[in-house]
Structure formats: C-alpha cells, structure tokens
C-alpha cells in the first residue's frame, strides 16, 4: 500500500506541475505562444496542489514515502521545466488518465472486498445450516415397564428387612 500511495502522490504532483507549466503565461510567451489569462489565486492553488500529496503522505505517518516523493517530484519538476508547453499539456493529460485508472482499480478493489465479505457471510450461514441439519438426533431407549406386582413385591421385601 505504501508503494501505491507514493506512486499516486508522485503522479498527482506531476500532473499539477505539468498543468502549471502548460498554463504559465511567461513560459508561453517564451515559446511564442499566446498566453492564457490566469488569476493569481489559481497559481497559488496549483502550487498547493503540488505539495498536498506530500503533506498527506506525512499525515499518514509515512516518512519514507515522503522522502521518495520529494526526490521524484524534484526530478519530474526538472523534466517538466525542460518541456515545451504543448508537451507539458500532453503530460498533464497522460497523468490525469493514469490517476483515473488508479481510481478505477481502487474502486474495483473496494467492490471485490465487499463481495468477498458477503460471500464469507453467506458461506458461514450455509455451514451453520449444514451443521444443524447433519447433527445426529439422540434417540432415547424406552424404559422397561415395571409391573405392579413386582413393585409390590419389592416394597414388601424392603419392609421385611
């Protein structure tokens, strides 16, 4: 789970870095593209989006994954900075597709766990029903009937003693 969380955090941060690189007005002017207007709060929100997965890794008490995430985001940051805005947009779209695939896998895993729990409950109920059905019934042997004359004789013999 730690590896999957680290990879997901790196992919999420890389996607936001690519979005930052694709929409940065100064980069777009440097590559002779038309700058896209962007509010200042949007850039701050995207910067927070880059850091948020690392904070979540730390909050999950996963220091090793945080260190790996820091190194991976540093390297991917340099890679994204070396790309043109068009390639950064393509990287953002690819990272978004990967993130969607990871979500789909997580949802399938949750569905599978729920189905397994339901099946285990059903098997336990069937096992209990089978145990109740196959439990041998004890048959009592009838007591021999005592005759009245014998009881009178036993009482008389006890009185003589």
Sign of torsion over alpha carbons 103, 104, 107, 113: negative
Residue 22 lies in a domain: yes
Cβ contact 18:95 at 8 Å: yes
Q: What is the largest CA-CA distance in the chain?
A: 131
Instruction: Domain count for the chain, please give it.
Output: 1
This prediction's pTM: 0.55
At residue 155, the pLDDT reads 61
At residue 96, the pLDDT reads 78
Positions in the chain short of pLDDT 50: none
Q: Which domain holds residue 66?
A: 2-108
pLDDT tens sequence across 63-108: 899 999 999 999 998 988 888 777 877 877 887 787 788 778 777 8
Residue 63 lies in a domain: yes
At residue 1, the pLDDT reads 63
Residue 149 lies in a domain: no
């Amino acid at each position: 789970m730690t590896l999957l969380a680290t990879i997901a955090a790196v992919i999420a941060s890389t996607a936001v870095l690519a979005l930052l690189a694709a929409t940065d007005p100064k980069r777009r002017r440097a590559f002779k593209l038309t700058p896209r207007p962007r509010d200042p709060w949007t850039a701050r929100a995207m910067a927070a989006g880059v850091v948020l997965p690392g904070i979540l890794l730390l909050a999950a008490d996963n220091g090793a994954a945080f260190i790996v995430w820091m190194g991976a985001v540093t390297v991917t940051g340099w890679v994204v900075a070396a790309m043109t805005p068009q390639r950064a947009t393509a990287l953002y779209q690819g990272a978004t597709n990967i993130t969607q695939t990871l979500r789909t896998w997580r949802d399938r895993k949750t569905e599978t766990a729920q189905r397994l729990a339901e099946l285990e409950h059903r098997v336990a109920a069937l096992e209990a029903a089978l145990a109740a059905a196959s439990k041998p019934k004890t048959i009592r042997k009838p007591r021999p009937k005592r005759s009245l004359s014998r009881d009178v004789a036993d009482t008389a013999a006890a009185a003589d003693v």
